Amino acid sequence: MASNTSKTARASVRAGQSTGGALSVLGEYKYIIPLAHGRFAYVRNLTNGRTNHLRTDSDAFVEEIRVLAAAGHAAKIRSEIAVLDETFPNDGWAATDKRLVDAGVFEA
């Protein structure tokens, strides 16, 4: 039986659903899971239950974040990106945040 999601994506979702999972901090789910020094990320869309593997400089990434921001998760996503930028300053998360702001993703 074939599946459209990778083993890694399914494992990350399972880890986030279990108690004490790496993707859940104090009961709050992480929306962005960084990969490859910020070039890629898993984006967890809690509105439809999907975890998408996206290149952070792609239009698909911007649109996925736009959908989450429109669903009321903008502040949480911005704070996650800020934490990623502090934790991994050489991975380009400030540029990712700037690109999202320039695209008008976080505007209400």
Query: pLDDT tens-digit profile of 23-41?
Result: 555 557 789 999 999 999 9
- Give residue for tokens 């399972």: 14
Within 10 angstroms of residue 31's Cβ, the number of other Cβ atoms is: 22
Beta strands in the chain (DSSP E): 24-25, 28-29, 32-35, 40-45, 50-55
Q: Is 53:12 a contact under the CB 8 Å cutoff?
A: no
- In the predicted model, is pLDDT for residue 4 greater than 80? no
pLDDT band at 46 (very low <50, low <70, confident <90, very high): confident
Q: What is this structure's pTM?
A: 0.74
